[in-house]
Structure 1
Amino acid sequence: MARPRTTYRCSACQHGVAKWVGRCPECGEWGSVGEVAVLSAPRLGAVGGPSVARAVALVPTTPALPLTRIDAQGAQQRSTGVAELDRVLGGGIVPGAVVLLAGEPGVGKSTLLLEVVSQWARLGRRALYVTGEESAGQVRLRAERTGAVHEQVWLAAETDLATVLGHVEQVEPDLLVVDSVQTMLATDVDGVPGGVTQVRAVTAALTSLAKARGLAVLLVGHVTKDGAVAGPRSLEHLVDVVLHFEGDKHSTLRMVRGVKNRFGAADEVGCFELREDGIVGVDDPSGLFLHHRGAPVPGTAVTVAVEGKRPLLGELQALVAGSGLASPRRAVSGLDGARVSMVLAVLERRGGVKLSDSEVYTATVGGMRLTEPAADLALALAVASAALDTPLPEGLVVLGEVGLAGEVRRVTGAGRRVAEAARLGFTRALVPPDSGTMPPGVRATVVPDLGAALRVLRRG
């Protein structure tokens, strides 16, 4: 008979340790390490030979098949009716897939999912929307305001997991939306709603339901103050797709960013605009991140970022002001603070632009977030333009990663980025060496280092 033994395991990341500790050494969570029982098979010593472990073989209920005989028709994506969401999902949602949509409170998750179930119903399929945060009447009022009312959209206000499973048996939907997974309660599991144990149990039960019935499931998840998905880390491992719904509360722009996707690319981005009458997809969002399209203004530079397969033009703005403080202020919005500090240091040391006694403010336009190194050169030129009070030439787009030695490094897909800029009317480009063939109509200038780029700025 198997002999039980005990070990200690973190409930957040499943990391095992030899003895109890207050804080998990792997993920840093406090109070998540608990004692668990592990069954080990007995060892049988053979005469004159080494000891071996005995395993009991079981007859599988579903036999293994050659890969060539597996039918993949049931795993084809089905459109949700929302083109921008389909882009992020890789073409649509797969029957039996579990999708986790996480975002900050008030960003518009429920509004987006109401639009999804409405479009899903208009395609002739049935959807069940389960809300644990609002009453049915509140959801109906929002649906009327956004035009999401449809007879094939079924609504239930429940927090008990067993009751939700009963609704699924009665309605027999093709799509199940649970808003949110932190409000669901499994009565046969210890813990409070939203706790580590409850969230894992609820997600595991809904995942098993999805796989058994071929039911597509959309789960709404909360995020922590750091922007990570709330709950145990294993929650992201249980689901098939993890999406982050992002957006500035002071802007109408919203972005759905893929973090994990078992059925497609995990780096795609969908753009939406939140309006009073609902949420709509933006299929050409580049113009949303540009402001100064007329006469050039000192302290601005335009670059092209790539989100998934989509090139997006973004405008960086900088302001350099004198300061009497020993440590002048550095303020960053929409950019990586550590990356900005590095570019400022290189700009002063390698480019000769004195910034140590000045306050520097850097930001992006339209709530865009630029974190890839391809925006380094544009950031450096925007700051230099503000410090010298000299605008960049009109119709110029800037690409390149800046190294610590002041060199400008090649970026991926430079031709595709410049082609997107040319489509929006840009006629000049600063590009790193070995950037490949540029599209017609754009005069490209190769800048091997930061000094060459600054000479273009000074010449105008």
Structure 2
Amino acid sequence: MKLKTKYVCQNCGYETLRWLGKCPSCNAWNSFVEEVIKREEKTSHINTLDNISERKIERLIDVEIDEEDRIEIGIEEFDRVLGGGIVKGSLILVGGEPGIGKSTLLIQMANQLSKKGLKILYASGEESFKQIKIRAERLNLNSQELYIISETNLDIIEKGIDKILPDILIIDSVQTVYSSDIMSAPGSVSQVRESTYKLMKIAKEKAIATFIVGHVTKEGSIAGPKVLEHMVDTVLYLEGEMYHSYRILRAVKNRFGSTNEIGMFEMKDKGLEEIEDPSAALLSGRPMDTSGTVVVPSIEGTRPMLVEVQSLVSSTPFGIPRRVAMGIDYNKVILMIAVLEKKMGYKLQNYDVYINIAGGIKSKEPSMDLGIIISIASSYKDAFISPGTVVMGEVGLAGEVRSVSFVERRVKEAAKLGFDTALIPKANLKDIKDVKGIKIIGISSVEEGLNMVFGG
């Protein structure tokens, strides 16, 4: 009998019976791969409903939650991101660029948990037993309850789960495992979707907290169908520049805790180490008496963090000036430059403008707006800002400075690190109630802020 095939977009999962050059769903080019359609045996509709009467229905108010339902890892930054620890039976997706430290972080987590007597099964489809052992020795991991399996067949991994009965399961990575029920290649949309569904079923039915590693595309999103992120309970991204030592673990989805919470680590010879005070670490090499640099108190999740915004404005011999942004949204930088030109009369059309957040940190916070504008103005005027000053505020296109959230928490973090002056939106002054040791100045416009900083 001739096998029936279909074409599946590897970017979004769109299916069609014939090959297309461009996907009508996501507009990706040359993304269709031919896959065999599996013939399914017809089953009685009655048989699939046989066990419905056995399923228990409870009122939400009657459901009891025990403290044991969360497992604390012992890595404080990791526990913070997860909302207080690992929830039993949860399915957690960890994404990040190749070589960023995903496997290192998870095997360190496995070592910490196994020291507490928990059984961990680490299933690797990318490394052999000896390769995993070499990495474990480099990280000084010597736990007795850490089991490993080097396998890509999900059916064999499932038999290993039934044999070991682990408390925690780690799959590294979901793009390498495959289910024999699907006839397409590992890493295809169908395989990733089917494998994740099976892992979700294992996690929920057997109350095994499951971590799956996912590779990212060039655009920075998890490789595979978008439905993958909808199926899991938590999505974590490990971010950082390859040539910087700092790594940020960010929660972009969490059914059991706060989203956009972050944990900060530093990559060293013995693996990832926690950074308990990110603000102090990021500002450790900050130049004091130089132009183009300003400190902004940012909020990442629930944590205040001081970051240094650097700007360099230099004349250009070319007709079109360059605009370069590192760690900050490029379009935001263009808007802030437009505000300076229109509202303050700065002639930046003959100057290149370069913006960077020191330490390889990325931020999309609205409170960075005022910091961007003041750092550009500082470099343009070649006038340095007092090293004891921090600034924050969202800037509108009319040049007004709008309020930001958690302003008291931001100011307290600045005061803790010895800063003596804080420029905040005037609308936020009413939110400051119990902050000592720092002078607080409210401003309502960009012009007012620049005059306050440069004494104009």
TM-score > 0.5 by shorter chain: yes
Q: Is the alpha carbon distance of 1:167 and 1:36 closer, same or farther for their aligned partners in structure 2, counting shifts above 3 Å?
A: closer
SS of the equivalent of 2:87 reads coil
Match of residue 266 from structure 2: 273
- 2:451 paired with 1:455: yes
Q: Distance in 2 between matches of 1:385 and 1:217?
A: 50
AA of the residue aligned to 2:26: C
Q: Distance in 2 between matches of 1:162 and 1:34?
A: 20
TM-superposition CA deviations, 1:175-226 (whole Å, max 9, x none): 0111111110212211111110111111111110111110011100000001
Contact kept, 8 Å, 1:10 with 1:34, in 2: the verdict is: no
Match of residue 27 from structure 1: 26
Q: Is the alpha carbon distance of 1:346 and 1:35 closer, same or farther for their aligned partners in structure 2, counting shifts above 3 Å?
A: farther
Unaligned runs of 5+ in 1: 1-6, 38-55
Q: Is the alpha carbon distance of 1:17 and 1:423 closer, same or farther for their aligned partners in structure 2, counting shifts above 3 Å?
A: same
Q: Shift in Å at residue 253 of structure 1? A: 0.5
TM-superposition CA deviations, 1:6-49 (whole Å, max 9, x none): x9997865779999976554433443899999xxxxxxxxxxxx
Match of residue 180 from structure 1: 173
Q: Distance in 1 between matches of 2:441 and 2:240?
A: 35
Contact kept, 8 Å, 2:35 with 2:183, in 1: the verdict is: no
Q: Distance in 1 between matches of 2:327 and 2:393?
A: 18
AA of the residue aligned to 1:459: G
- Larger deviation, residues 17-26 vs 284-293: 17-26
- 2:350 paired with 1:357: yes
- So what's the TM-score if we normalise by structure 2? 0.90
1:30-41 aligned at under 5 Å gives the runs 30-31=31-32
Q: Distance in 2 between matches of 1:297 and 1:89?
A: 40
1:128-277 aligned at under 5 Å gives the runs 128-277=121-270
- 2:402 paired with 1:409: yes
Q: Distance in 1 between matches of 2:427 and 2:124?
A: 54
Q: Distance in 1 between matches of 2:37 and 2:230?
A: 20
Q: Distance in 2 between matches of 1:333 and 1:366?
A: 10
Q: Distance in 2 between matches of 1:195 and 1:117?
A: 28
Could you tell me which of 437, 440, 456 is aligned with 2:432? 437
- 2:418 paired with 1:421: no
Q: Distance in 2 between matches of 1:57 and 1:274?
A: 52
AA of the residue aligned to 1:223: V
Could you tell me which of 365, 369, 372 is aligned with 1:379? 372
Q: Shift in Å at residue 278 of structure 1? A: 1.4
- Larger deviation, residues 277-286 vs 308-317: 277-286
Q: Is the alpha carbon distance of 1:90 and 1:157 closer, same or farther for their aligned partners in structure 2, counting shifts above 3 Å?
A: same
Q: Distance in 2 between matches of 1:283 and 1:458?
A: 34
Contact kept, 8 Å, 1:447 with 1:453, in 2: the verdict is: yes
Contact kept, 8 Å, 2:8 with 2:189, in 1: the verdict is: no
Q: Could you tell me the percent identity over the aligned residues?
A: 39
SS of the equivalent of 2:387 reads coil
Match of residue 42 from structure 1: none
AA of the residue aligned to 2:444: P
Unaligned runs of 5+ in 2: 1-5, 39-47
